[in-house]
Structure 1
Amino acid sequence: MGNSFRQTVAGLFARKDMNSATMLSGHVASTQARVQASESEYLIAAQDTTYYNYSGQTQMSGLGRIQGKVRGLMQHNVLLMEQEGQPLGLIHQQYWTRGGAIDWPSPQKESQKWFKGLVAVNQQAQGSNRRWVVICDREGDIFEFFKAEREPNVDLLVRVCQPRRVEVAAAGTVCPLPDVAEQLDDYGQYSVQIERLYEGKGRTVDVTLQLQAATVYIYPRQDLSPARHKTQPLTLVMATEVACVDGKTQVDCFDADNSLCWSLLTSLPVATAADVQRILRFYALRWRIERLHFTLKSGALNVERLQFDDVHTLVNALTFYSVVAWRLLGLTYALRQDPEQSAQTLFDADELRLLHQLSGQAVDSLRQATLALTKLVGFAPSRRQPLPGVKVLAIAIERFFFVKQGAQAVSKPLQD
């Protein structure tokens, strides 16, 4: 966008009084407004960490280690979504390095990132009439996390993998987690759509799962008394893949050796098969925070190519780009969830008038407006790819920025 613009923005990122919390504050406030406008009964808060590799930026000061000699930094995000998966925005971010300028506070462990994310959700959920569900992958399988303080309307949903001792409440029997399946109740089969990496690329697949569930207590480490330290009643859901087909071609792609097996621990109650299925749907949405990180990196924004003098400036830039990535992701999923919704939900009136003038076609629906937008970069819908992805959208939105600038300049009266 020109040297002067880049220098201005870089100067903003480099300011000593600027930090990631300040940079994100306006977005968090807007996310809260979107929550208020949403009709979703449940709000899904997915936590995850991504690692940025800046080994090639040898002049950037303050970087730490990611792994071995790889230089970079870590970013932990909490992405808020509606229960159908529409991203509402980020409500929390953390950054740290290992041996760099922003090391994790000693003596805390890096696992505290999950607890800090939960604190952020608790703060947002106070006074809310919705149920908030905090979702973590296997890295969040921490006994203390299951006992952490939560607002009454905040629930946990964590994929567990540690061979902990589990007490099945109905039977009163205790066994290691890997052996508990035969003591769980059968809740039939259920098909869920997920994203799966195949030959280095993500694709959508329909997975059929065998469902089991029961109320359980999780026991502490063996040197602590179970009677005093075990968790409150939780629900253990086990989902085992029994079939898989490609979402587009419907070709059988089940691989028994690499089949999915989820052990999910949640504070959400289970009384019916529908309750178990809802828990599966919620956990399947966790993949969307992975897509946020994909959008930030190789998917569209290529933030690992950013070049700054120090990690302070880089962190502020990454926060800024995180909001851009959410915007791209939000448009992508809104388009897939309901392409016929009004275009005014994501485009303002001036943008729609300009898109109509440029395309010569109606732009009433979100599909029509987005196709008019991506026509600027040569995207043509096909049977294989009827809608654009985040990379095409990123290029199109950038191109549209310049088109809007030109249109505004033309519309102004000439000055003597």
Structure 2
Amino acid sequence: MKVVELAEELSGGEFGDARLNRRARVMAEALAQYPNMSIPAALKSKADIEGAYRFFNNDSVKPDCIIASHIEATYQRIDSLDFILCVQDTTEIDLTRPKQQVDGAGPMDCESRRGAFFHPMIAFDAAGVPLGFVGQKSWTREEISRASKAEKAERRRKTPIEEKESYRWIEGLRWAEKAAAACPETTTVCVGDSESDIYDLFAAATASEQPNLHLLVRAGQNRNTTEGQDWVDQVRLAAKIGDQTVAVRARIAKTGTAKSARSRSREARTAELEIRKATIELRRPVHGDRKLPASITVNVVLCEETSPPEDADPISWMLVTTLAIDTIQQVQRIISSYCVRWQIEVYFRTLKSGCKIERRRFEAIDRVLNALAFFSVIAWRVMYVCHLGRECPEMDCEVMFEPSEWKSVYSVLGEEIPHDGCPSLNEVVRAVARLGGFMNRATDEPGTQTLWIGLQRSYDLSNAWNTFGPGAKKFSHD
């Protein structure tokens, strides 16, 4: 991979110091090659190792500064497209240590588990190719409330949305709004799962003056319409407009006693869904902020599985959107767009398993969060290469790979090196993934795990090629 491109996206940050920009470039070039190695193993030079730790500990280095130039580069990739999806979600960064805890790490679901929360928004094209971040935030909790359920509910009612963790979903909408403003010819859709089913978010989306900004959220709770019905019941009264087949991903429950259908384990399968649509007027929640509109009009697409496998929870998605639903093609696009949301789960796995962000041994939370921002872009790049190989298979590989990288891989795998030109990007991505354990079946595509392992091996092979291979300086011994 031509890491200079990644270095440019990480070295143009708003640090206010050219030395920090240069340090970011050196780190990007090295850490991108070995994303799952420790900083000492990846950088090797004592000066570079010390420089990296000083960088993450510098008061002028903040997560927003680190990703600033990357966001601008993401806008450029978005600007060439007609339609993109800005997907947001939250994941835990578990920093629990058996002995000394990270200074500043907060409680997670209990006091004994310490860490932080990470909420990124990643832009994808309609095919699921990740284009980069348009925003991200990270935070820690100060404490876990020990109040009763009733006390918690009363506190939530009295707390302004701006002071709640759920405000992150509205912040995400603002990031998408900025992307839409930067790329006015691109339809920009802010996508969230059922946790983002918040009346305040619907209000903010419908009030936006950015004409190319839209919202797509999966419903997650009961809501009343102005007609006095629950919104699901109202949509079910509509006639079926068609059927759609979707691939349902496998899922393993985080706990053995998951009660919700959304959290229980399931096998991967193909589901046949009945599709209904409706335009409905939502009523403001009883305890909603009186500054919010009394009602909001939204479009709804209901997808329900009528014949699920025995002992399997039927798929039931209700998608709430500001996109048009006039034609079956528009409805199908909404469904396929929501399916892209699962790519952010793949991204989280790449960040944690590939870049091992939870295993980075920093003593203070500020350093962890700076490293999280830095490695978040590196993890995106691995995923980007993987998807670009699928969606642009005929592209020349040298758009992404140096000649020494693909040629050394081909030599080790026993593949013939072309006399003229270079192989396609897809061919080289598959070859690199073979180094990471990909079986190279014609019907399969490599995943991010085999690719990031293969990429690290390819960098070592490239270094050996440049040192000892064709064209390298010949050493002689007296």
1:95-137 CA-to-partner distances (Å, cap 9, x unmatched) read 100018xxxx997111110111111111111152011000111
Distance 1:203 1:371, change over 3 A: farther
Matches of 2:244 and 2:306, distance apart in 1? 10
Matches of 2:297 and 2:384, distance apart in 1? 36
1:336-372 CA-to-partner distances (Å, cap 9, x unmatched) read 4454444244334553444445444355122321233
Residue in 1 that maps onto 2:223: 164
Matches of 2:55 and 2:267, distance apart in 1? 38
Mapping for residues 270-281 of structure 1, pairs under 5 Å: 270-281=325-336
Structure with bigger strand share is 1
Distance 1:36 1:26, change over 3 A: same
Could you state the TM-score of these two structures normalised by the residue count of structure 2?
0.75
CA RMSD of the aligned region, Å? 3.0
2:93 pairs with 1:34:
no
Residue in 1 that maps onto 2:459: 401
Distance 1:260 1:17, change over 3 A: same
Which amino acid in 1 is paired with 2:450?
V
Matches of 1:241 and 1:275, distance apart in 2? 20
Mapping for residues 201-216 of structure 1, pairs under 5 Å: 205-216=269-280
Distance 1:187 1:405, change over 3 A: same
C-alpha contact (below 8 Å) 2:194/2:219 kept by paired residues: yes
Residue in 1 that maps onto 2:31: none
Which amino acid in 2 is paired with 1:206?
T
Residue in 2 that maps onto 1:136: 192
Which amino acid in 1 is paired with 2:127?
E
C-alpha contact (below 8 Å) 2:187/2:214 kept by paired residues: yes
Matches of 2:230 and 2:60, distance apart in 1? 51
- Match of residue 174, structure 1, among 209, 228, 233: 228
1:286-314 CA-to-partner distances (Å, cap 9, x unmatched) read 1011111111123x232211110111111
Matches of 1:221 and 1:159, distance apart in 2? 18
Residue in 1 that maps onto 2:368: 314
Residue in 2 that maps onto 1:56: 97
1:247-290 CA-to-partner distances (Å, cap 9, x unmatched) read xxxxxxx3464111011110001111111111100111110111
Which amino acid in 1 is paired with 2:87?
A
Which amino acid in 1 is paired with 2:244?
Y
Which amino acid in 2 is paired with 1:43?
I
Matches of 1:203 and 1:395, distance apart in 2? 27
Distance 1:106 1:241, change over 3 A: closer
For the residue of structure 1 that corresponds to 2:185, the secondary structure is coil
Among the aligned pairs, what percent are the same residue?
25
Matches of 1:182 and 1:218, distance apart in 2? 16
Matches of 1:391 and 1:223, distance apart in 2? 46
Matches of 1:320 and 1:285, distance apart in 2? 24
What runs of 5+ residues in structure 2 fail to find an aligned partner? 1-41, 144-159, 255-264
What runs of 5+ residues in structure 1 fail to find an aligned partner? 168-172, 245-253
* More moved, 354-363 vs 143-152: 354-363
Residue in 2 that maps onto 1:192: 246
Matches of 2:294 and 2:198, distance apart in 1? 13
2:119 pairs with 1:76:
yes
Matches of 1:137 and 1:223, distance apart in 2? 23
Distance 1:404 1:258, change over 3 A: same
1:374 CA displacement: 3.2
Mapping for residues 232-243 of structure 1, pairs under 5 Å: 232-243=296-307
For the residue of structure 1 that corresponds to 2:228, the secondary structure is strand
Mapping for residues 258-269 of structure 1, pairs under 5 Å: 258-269=313-324
For the residue of structure 2 that corresponds to 1:278, the secondary structure is helix
C-alpha contact (below 8 Å) 1:217/1:233 kept by paired residues: yes
2:278 pairs with 1:222:
no
Mapping for residues 99-118 of structure 1, pairs under 5 Å: 99=142, 108-118=163-173
Residue in 1 that maps onto 2:5: none
* More moved, 234-243 vs 87-96: 234-243
Distance 1:285 1:376, change over 3 A: closer
C-alpha contact (below 8 Å) 2:405/2:461 kept by paired residues: no
Aligned residues: 393
C-alpha contact (below 8 Å) 1:76/1:95 kept by paired residues: yes
Could you state the TM-score of these two structures normalised by the residue count of structure 1?
0.85
Residue in 2 that maps onto 1:250: none
C-alpha contact (below 8 Å) 1:235/1:270 kept by paired residues: yes
For the residue of structure 1 that corresponds to 2:271, the secondary structure is strand
* More moved, 80-89 vs 391-400: 391-400
Distance 1:274 1:331, change over 3 A: same
1:312-341 CA-to-partner distances (Å, cap 9, x unmatched) read 111111112111211122222233445444
Residue in 2 that maps onto 1:247: none
2:393 pairs with 1:351:
no
For the residue of structure 2 that corresponds to 1:196, the secondary structure is coil
Matches of 1:202 and 1:338, distance apart in 2? 32
Residue in 1 that maps onto 2:155: none
C-alpha contact (below 8 Å) 1:162/1:177 kept by paired residues: no
Residue in 2 that maps onto 1:46: 87
